[in-house]
Amino acid sequence: MKKEEVPQDNIRHFRTARKAAYVVDEEGHYTTVPTTGWNVEEVILYQAIGEFEEQAETCRQRVARGEDSPIAYFMFKRRMDPTVLAQAMGLPRWRVRRHLKGKVFARMGEGLLKEYARVLRVPLDALTPFRPDVLEQETYELPPGLSTADRQAGRTPGPESTAGESSRRSTP
Amino acid sequence: MKHVIDFEHRHYGHCESGVVSGLLRHSGLDLSEAMVFGLASAIMFAYVPFLRMNNMPTISYRILPRTIISGIQSRLGIPFRKQTYRDPGRAMEELVDFMRRGQIVGLQTSAYWLTYFPPEMRFQFNVHNLIVFGVEDGEFLVSDPVFEHPVRIPATDLENARFARGVMAPKGFVYHPEGVPSSVDLPVLIRKAIARTLFMMLSSPPPFGIRGIFYLARKIERMERSKDGRYIRLFLGHMVRMQEEIGTGGGGFRFMYAAFLQEAADILNSAALLEASRKMTLAGDQWRTFALACARIIRQRDGAPDLKEIAALLRRCGEVERDVYVLLKKGI
């Protein structure tokens, strides 16, 4: 890849971040240049996110009908699958798979529920009764791309920002 | 409480090689990221169908996580102090201790809980590496190699990230080099490293190395019969994510390795290596073409994807790359 061929597509999820790409400069020497992303990366990332979101949404409806357990919903929301969740819980996968069923969930003990709540980092009272909206109130989120340099300059990257580089970038 | 160590942040293509390069530079041994990557013989191709995550097989363009650290350790003979913890509280206390003593450290973390990441990019990916170089007001100062500037992260978030559980859980893994040699015999080490890479890429049985690429191409062709369009699109997307998104410097590390070969050519004064570097760049370009074709198929959303074309492109990647290694084998 030559230096002038590096894609600078301002892709959505990078926000103010830039990645380093290895490129060949005019004299044929290797160097790195910051890039605002490649469209291909945007396509594949939103494909992966869309897959999780779709699963979570189907699951939410199934939970409402009592077919799935709320644990399954939060699992997809946390971008996990049964294998990852089982390893995080330290349980065999078949047990975790059972716990994803609505009927089994209704009979689960408090100790196990607490552990699921801890691993999925949701409050226990969001599991029973099921409150899917709890994730929308999460507070650990920092403003995207808020780096030290931004902070020192008192800038908050985002659509309302007016300062240089960050205002140029599109935010979803 | 404030302990900030004077450390110059640099922007790198990949997390693990970037962290190792940063740590060594801070200890007085200046090796570029590409040199670290090459010396650790880190370039690879692996397709492991039975190791699945999120219903997708493992596809990797590099060697296993943590092996860049151990590779540098054994090849350069630099002892690394490495530690994991059971108790998160103790791990965080010791991290502050490191800062108090003026020792920067590398950490293994989960990308999902790193709050300075754009939310869309947070996946359950447990092998992200970063450098901590200070602590101030309950926040840690982080030099994340794949970010342009140093960032800050609250202690609780960092603790979450260090003690995320699941596949390849970091368990608070912390590491730093303990003393570096004043000089290293680069020409000898480069030859050894390249020889190891040649062995891994050319002589590994499928599904590893060059044969792995051809094996996967055949698999993709056969998917037409057994899998639906939705799965195929997810599979191709997954493959390209491993190639482009997980901080590879582009082209699934191929450009980074080409940079290493170029540096090596300078040091060894070898025309063959320079030619290999140029060809490796072409291999990287070929991988980018492959990624672009995959993205086009994903964007179509429906209809039967042309897997013949994809498989042919993948084979082309394998062929171009094989030429590089064959050339290297003669030249070294």
Are B120 and A41 in contact (CB < 8 Å)? no
Same domain, B298 and B250: yes
B282 touches chain A (CB under 8 A): no
- Report how many Cβ contacts below 8 Å link chain A to chain B: 156
Task: Report d(CA B82, CA B206) in Å as an integer.
Answer: 32
> Chain A closest CA to B279's CA: distance in Å?
11
Same domain, B18 and B160: yes
Which pLDDT value is given to residue A155? 44
Task: Report d(CA B19, CA B104) in Å as an integer.
Answer: 11
What is the separation, in whole angstroms, between the first and last Cα of chain B? 53
Which pLDDT value is given to residue A166? 33
Which pLDDT value is given to residue B131? 96
Q: Which residue has the higher pLDDT, B95 or A139?
A: B95
Which residue in B152, B169, B256 is closest to A148 by CB distance?
Answer: B152
Which pLDDT value is given to residue A138? 61
Q: Confidence class of residue A151 from pLDDT cuts 50, 70 and 90?
A: very low
Task: Report d(CA B212, CA B256) in Å as an integer.
Answer: 21
Look up residue B286 and give its amino acid: Q
Task: Report d(CA A134, CA A137) in Å as an integer.
Answer: 6
Question: Who contacts B239 (Cβ-Cβ below 8 Å, separation ≥6)?
Answer: B59, B294
Is the sign of the CA dihedral A90, A93, A95, A98 positive or negative? positive
Residues B242-263 pLDDT 10s: 998 877 888 899 999 999 999 9
Are B241 and A45 in contact (CB < 8 Å)? yes
Tell me the percentage of chain B whose pLDDT exceeds 90: 74
Using CB atoms within 10 Å of the CB of residue B21, give its burial: 0 to 12 exposed, 13 to 18 middle, 19+ buried.
Answer: buried
pLDDT at B105 over 90: yes
B34 touches chain A (CB under 8 A): yes
In a domain, B45, yes or no: no
| Six token digits for residue A119 | 């691993």
Which residue in A18, A84, A150 is closest to B167 by CB distance?
Answer: A84
Domain that holds residue B191: 186-331
Same domain, B171 and B190: no
In a domain, B161, yes or no: yes
Domains of chain A: 1-37 (no CATH), 42-137 (1.10.260)
Tell which of B120, B149, B177 closes a domain: B177
In a domain, B56, yes or no: no
Are A12 and B120 in contact (CB < 8 Å)? yes
Contacts of A46 in chain B (CB under 8 A): 120
In a domain, B224, yes or no: yes
Long-range contacts of B314-319 (CB under 8 A, 24+ apart): B314/B213, B314/B216, B314/B217, B314/B220, B314/B290, B315/B213, B315/B214, B315/B217, B316/B286, B316/B290, B317/B213, B317/B283, B317/B286, B317/B287, B317/B290, B318/B210, B318/B213, B318/B214, B318/B217
Q: Average pLDDT, stretch B47-52? A: 86
Same domain, B220 and B265: yes
Task: Report d(CA B228, CA B284) in Å as an integer.
Answer: 29
Tell me the percentage of chain A whose pLDDT exceeds 70: 79
| Six token digits for residue B73 | 């350790």
Q: Average model confidence (pLDDT) for chain B?
A: 91
Are A40 and B291 in contact (CB < 8 Å)? yes
> Chain B closest CA to A12's CA: distance in Å?
9
- For testing contact with chain B, the best of A24, A32, A84 (most B CBs within 10 A): A32
Where are the extended beta strands (E) located within chain A? 19-24, 30-35
Residues B145-182 pLDDT 10s: 999 899 999 998 899 899 988 888 999 999 999 988 88
Which pLDDT value is given to residue A137? 66
Same domain, B138 and B170: yes
Same domain, B134 and B224: no
> Chain A closest CA to B276's CA: distance in Å?
13
Using DSSP, state whether B48 is helix, strand or coil: strand
Task: Report d(CA A114, CA B211) in Å as an integer.
Answer: 47
> Chain B closest CA to A132's CA: distance in Å?
18
B151 touches chain A (CB under 8 A): yes
Q: Which of A117, A115, A98 is nearest to A106 (CA)?
A: A98
Task: Report d(CA A102, CA A71) in Å as an integer.
Answer: 9
| Six token digits for residue A145 | 């791309």
Q: Average pLDDT, stretch B213-228? A: 90
Q: A134-148, B12-26, B267-281, B296-310: lowest mean pLDDT where? A: A134-148
Task: Report d(CA A166, CA A158) in Å as an integer.
Answer: 7
Q: Confidence class of residue B218 from pLDDT cuts 50, 70 and 90?
A: very high
Q: A109-113, B11-15, B59-63, B304-308: lowest mean pLDDT where? A: B304-308
Q: Average pLDDT, stretch A144-169? A: 38
Task: Report d(CA B304, CA A91) in Å as an integer.
Answer: 39
Q: B54-58, B266-270, B327-331: lowest mean pLDDT where? A: B54-58
Half-sphere exposure of B147 (CA within 13 A, CB side): 29
Q: Average pLDDT, stretch A115-128? A: 87
Same domain, B218 and B113: no
> Chain A closest CA to B198's CA: distance in Å?
22
ipTM given for this complex: 0.88
At B141, which helix (H) or strand (E)?
strand B139-143
Q: Confidence class of residue A1 from pLDDT cuts 50, 70 and 90?
A: confident
Same domain, B16 and B142: yes
Contacts of B292 in chain A (CB under 8 A): 40
Contacts of B255 in chain A (CB under 8 A): 1, 21-23, 30
Same domain, B155 and B202: no
Contacts of A29 in chain B (CB under 8 A): 262
pLDDT at A81 over 80: yes
| Six token digits for residue B160 | 């979450």
Contacts of B123 in chain A (CB under 8 A): 48, 79
**Among all chains, which residue has been given the structure tokens 């004064």?**
B269
Contacts of A91 in chain B (CB under 8 A): none
Tell me the percentage of chain B whose pLDDT exceeds 70: 100
Look up residue B237 and give its amino acid: G
> Chain B closest CA to A113's CA: distance in Å?
17
For A:48-87, CB contacts with B below 8 A are 48-49, 51, 78-81, 83-85, 87
In a domain, B95, yes or no: yes
> Chain A closest CA to B247's CA: distance in Å?
8
In a domain, B307, yes or no: yes
Q: Average model confidence (pLDDT) for chain A?
A: 79
Cα-based distances in Å from A121 to A19, A71, B92, B239: 30, 11, 20, 29
| Six token digits for residue A57 | 């949404």
Which residue in B150, B167, B284 is closest to A87 by CB distance?
Answer: B167
Cα-based distances in Å from B36 to B15, B22, B73, B150: 12, 10, 11, 21
For B:92-131, CB contacts with A below 8 A are 112, 115-116, 118-124
Any idea what the CATH number is for the domain that residue B90 is in? Answer: 3.90.70
> Chain A closest CA to B21's CA: distance in Å?
15
Q: Which residue has the higher pLDDT, B96 or A18?
A: B96
Tell which of B122, B157, B177 closes a domain: B177
Same domain, B98 and B133: yes
Question: Who contacts B281 (Cβ-Cβ below 8 Å, separation ≥6)?
Answer: A1, A24, B254, B255, B258
Are A79 and B112 in contact (CB < 8 Å)? yes
In a domain, B55, yes or no: no
Q: Average pLDDT, stretch B84-90? A: 92
DSSP letter, residue A68 = B
Total count of residues recorded for chain A:
172
Question: Who contacts A160 (Cβ-Cβ below 8 Å, separation ≥6)?
Answer: none
pLDDT at A162 over 80: no
Same domain, B163 and B25: yes
Tell which of B177, B212, B231 closes a domain: B177
Q: How many structural domains comprise chain B?
A: 2
Same domain, B123 and B173: yes
Contacts of B288 in chain A (CB under 8 A): 1
| Six token digits for residue A112 | 């196990």
In a domain, B236, yes or no: yes
Are A39 and B288 in contact (CB < 8 Å)? no
pLDDT at A63 over 70: yes
Contacts of B115 in chain A (CB under 8 A): 140-142
Q: Confidence class of residue A147 from pLDDT cuts 50, 70 and 90?
A: very low
Look up residue A4 and give its amino acid: E
Residues B264-308 pLDDT 10s: 999 999 999 999 999 999 999 999 999 999 999 998 877 788 899
